[in-house]
Structure 1
Amino acid sequence: MIDWILPLALIISGLLFGVIGEKFIFKRLKLFASKKNIPGSEIIFKSLQRMPFIWFVLAGFLGAIISAPLKPDIINLLQKIITVAFLFSVTLVLARLTAGFVILYTHRTEGVTASLISNVAKTAVLVLGTLILLQTVGIQITPIVTTLGIGGIAVGLALQDTLANLFSGFYLILSKQVKTGDYVKLDSGHEGYITDITWRNTTIKEFSNNVIIVPNSKLASAIFTNYHLPVKEITLTMNVGVSYDSDLEQVERITVEVAKEVMQEIAPELTANEPYIRFHTFGDFSIDFTLYMRVSEYFDQRIGKHLFVKKLHKRYQQAGISIPFPVRDVYVQNNND
């Protein structure tokens, strides 16, 4: 029993240090990094979640195994198990770090991320780490890689649709036809913001908060409009008509002034792009023209039209400019016998 006192003490010490490291030291370091706004700290601490406790426990067990009165072959086997567990935990941390920093990089360069890229990067690190782990414990990985290559052909034939969606997702991202955050309208009539591109499908969130699930292969071959390409800013157009007795110079001036007011409210960064109108039709009841003004993105057209109609109607009333509506005279003939 005396020979087992030190191993038990090392195991208990590992557990205690693991709890202390996880509950106190790790949390204090996380809080310190959060206050200092250290770049990437959130990803690092999220990747290390629960790992300090596991590593301290593994260290305690390793010390106990070395100091325990066990046979050499049993000690060797247990050391291999501890080594495998430690290498797997390190691989998991590296996979989390890789996925987290890929998301951070794509977010900074493109605006919003697609989980497909981060998941593929995470999977690649896990596979590579597993192969290194097997090689470390003395397992030959060459036959495994060969078997996986042959088996991959059969799996590929069985999962053609899945692989088609996977590669279509890569195509959509790499070709930059769409990315998460873009506002798109499909040829089926559905429209909304792309929220994610996964290994199998693309999710589109409508204005009503409904989610549309589109397989990547279908989206890659579909006809759709991306309202964020080549830029998010678009031109809002409004058709208006004024009566024939209106002063067209006054109409143009007031209309442009109202459009500038609207732009100042919803897109102040675009006010350098002067709004303008173009008269184009002598209609049956009015002289018709179209207003052109820039807004920040496709969705801003709704609020832009709303504000423009309210403000223009008020200004036209103040200036005595009328917007005519169709009038029909009906004659009723009464035939008395």
Structure 2
Amino acid sequence: MSTNLFNEWPWQDIVMVAGFIVFLFLTRWIAGVLINRLFREKGSVQKAALSLINWVVFNGLLLFVIFYFSDSAWLLYPLFTIGQVDITLFLIIIAVLIITFAYRLSNILNEHLLPFFFERHHLDKGIQFTMERVVHYIIMVVAVLVSLTTVGIDLSALTVFAGVLGVGIGFGMQNIASNFISGLILLFERPIKVGDRVLIDDVIGDVEKISMRATVVRTLENEHIINPNSYFLEEKVVNRSFADPRLRLTIPIGVAYGTDVQKVKRILLVVAELARQENSFVLESPAPFVNFKGFGDSSLDFELFLWISNPKEVIRMKSELNFSIYEQLNENGIEIPFPQRDLHIKSAPESLLKGHQEDS
């Protein structure tokens, strides 16, 4: 009986499938060699071509199954029904091919082709991320609509489903829908964008990613804060990179009473000039300014105002300025005072002292 079962196997089909698999991988190898020879330097065009070939090779087997077994009953057997359309394995494979091709096309555009456009037009990181997301969403939505139409599903028949989905969103998916719409607003209105330095609840971080539901902010300690997109529209967020990335640093300094205040002013301006010469992001205009803040309890209080063009350099720049100010004040013999308190002791009345002596 086992011999009869062995003889009943569709050996011709098995050999054809195996042979086609070998053909696919051989074609992939030959195409890879040709592309590497055509593009000596490994660039985006070469990577895009290889990515597309990989999709064709690894999905070629599905295409082969569709055409070779197009008359087979199992391929056209109705699995379930949507409306008046019988969904078969053949239709499912077609839909999968369309969606996977669209996803691969989106990756090729975003990873290999759009960077040429971004570099040529000098677009900032936030605009790049927005364009990448918009291109991806458009391609995938079109792919889903085309795949549904291809399998014979009337899109108008989905209105009932859309109504049910709308009720579900209204009751159980309010937060998800709100965050998704907030994400779209963030991408287009751009109150924050990828690469911005923001201040959230006194925590400084850089916006790394704006996804469909949440925004990822990486702090200076390399921790990741994941906030819902709606947070950035409903709560107060300080964006140090919004519109004008310039930022004013304020460095407080206290010197001892009796110090030549004009000399202090000259020293602080020298510190600012040295910082400008050593760091390209320190701005010459607006010019540095020394503010004589007032008369403190133990010191004469000054502030050095300095403008920088890169908000990400705030902490390092403040530290460098403090080092430089301390060195310059020491070299010029200017004292940075400690807090001082005067204690006045009054003598006791003579009558109390006399009474104490008599008691003893």
State the distance in 1 between where 2:263 and 2:343 align: 34
Between Structure 1 and Structure 2, how many residues are aligned?
Answer: 324
- Which residue matches 1:287? 300
- Confirm whether residue 95 of structure 1 aligns to residue 107 of structure 2: no
- Deviation string, structure 1 residues 80-116 (Cα, Å, up to 9, x no partner): 9668635632432223323553574697633147978
- Deviation string, structure 1 residues 141-185 (Cα, Å, up to 9, x no partner): 244333333333223323222111111111222221111221222
Matched ranges for 1:286-305 at <5 A: 286-305=299-318
1:129 paired residue among 134, 137, 143: 143
Matched ranges for 1:13-92 at <5 A: 13-23=19-29, 25-26=31-32, 29=35, 33=39, 35-38=41-44, 41-42=46-47, 45-46=50-51, 48=52, 50-58=54-62, 60-61=64-65, 64-65=68-69, 74=73, 77=76, 85=93, 88-92=96-100
SS at structure 2 position matched to 1:196 = strand
SS at structure 1 position matched to 2:191 = coil
Question: With structure 2 as the length reference, what TM-score do the two structures score?
Answer: 0.73
- Which residue matches 1:268? 280
- Confirm whether residue 167 of structure 1 aligns to residue 181 of structure 2: yes
Give the 3 Å change call, closer, same or farther, for CA 90–276 of structure 1 in structure 2.
same
- Which residue matches 2:191? 177
State the AA in 1 paired with 2:24: G
Matched ranges for 1:123-162 at <5 A: 124-137=138-151, 139-158=152-171, 159-162=173-176
- Confirm whether residue 212 of structure 1 aligns to residue 225 of structure 2: yes
State the distance in 1 between where 2:209 and 2:282 align: 29
State the AA in 1 paired with 2:213: R
Give the 3 Å change call, closer, same or farther, for CA 216–87 of structure 1 in structure 2.
closer
Give the 3 Å change call, closer, same or farther, for CA 18–25 of structure 1 in structure 2.
same
SS at structure 2 position matched to 1:278 = strand
State the distance in 2 between where 1:31 and 1:90 align: 30
2:208 paired residue among 192, 195, 199: 195
Give the 3 Å change call, closer, same or farther, for CA 73–24 of structure 1 in structure 2.
closer
Percent of matched pairs sharing the same residue: 21
Give the 3 Å change call, closer, same or farther, for CA 27–83 of structure 1 in structure 2.
farther
Give the 3 Å change call, closer, same or farther, for CA 12–229 of structure 1 in structure 2.
same
- Deviation string, structure 1 residues 254-300 (Cα, Å, up to 9, x no partner): 211212222333x3144433322122324444332211112233342
Give the 3 Å change call, closer, same or farther, for CA 145–100 of structure 1 in structure 2.
farther
Question: With structure 1 as the length reference, what TM-score do the two structures score?
Answer: 0.77
Please say if residues 91 and 129 of structure 1, whose CA atoms lie closer than 8 Å, have aligned partners that are also in contact.
Answer: yes
Which structure: larger Rg?
2
- Which residue matches 1:230? 243
Structure 1's unaligned 5+ residue stretches are 67-71
Give the 3 Å change call, closer, same or farther, for CA 20–200 of structure 1 in structure 2.
same
Structure 2's unaligned 5+ residue stretches are 1-6, 78-87
Please say if residues 283 and 308 of structure 2, whose CA atoms lie closer than 8 Å, have aligned partners that are also in contact.
Answer: no
- Which residue matches 1:69? none
Deviation at 1:22, TM superposition (A): 3.2
**RMSD, aligned α-carbons:** 3.8
SS at structure 2 position matched to 1:35 = coil
